Amino acid sequence: MGIQLDRIPPGHPEHNGAHDRLHRDIAVELEGFPQADLRQQRAALETWRHTFNFERPHQALGMRVPGDLYQRSPRPFPKQPEEITYPAGFLTRRVSASGYIAIEGMKVRISSVLAGWEVGLKPASSETFLVWFGPLCLGTLGLGTEAFRPAGMSPH
């Protein structure tokens, strides 16, 4: 659908203030009041979501509620995502149901979220690959360490 993902540097919430503010509001209003089970916690989150979107006026919206301004996109959501292709020079590996890929006789965990999808491996050195999912660099895979390091993680 042409949606581009964007990463901000760790520790810089000012780059995405509205998103961080939403998470802070959820934390203040919900996390301090845990429910007895997951079903009740989901119900509490749904109640909060409804209040946030349909009852609570927002100063940034001229004291309107988000539900008054929301418009459903006219673009249909594709039923089946397109196949992802990678440029020449990339290796491709299909992610297993448990989140692993195989390379040079090793199994390396990437993420079970990507199960069934192909990731692209771009050689960065003789021992390192950059791991891509479509246009998004997920991180690095070290052959020597047999480990995947997500993008944005400190080397320590």
DSSP 101-112: EEETTEEEE--G
User: What's the mean pLDDT when you consider all of the chain?
Assistant: 87
The rounded percent of the chain whose pLDDT value lies above 90 is 52
C-alpha dihedral sign at 104, 107, 108, 114: positive
The DSSP bridge partners found for residue 60 are none
pTM passes above 0.75: no
Q: How many CA atoms lie within 13 A of 125 on its CB side?
A: 7
Q: Are 84 and 61 in contact (CB under 8 A)?
A: no
Cα–Cα distances in angstroms (integers) from residue 52 to residues 26, 41, 58, 108, in the given order: 10, 16, 9, 41
Amino acid 12: pLDDT:
75
pLDDT at 111 over 60: yes
| pLDDT tens-digit series, residues 21-65 | 888 888 888 877 778 888 998 898 899 999 999 999 989 899 999
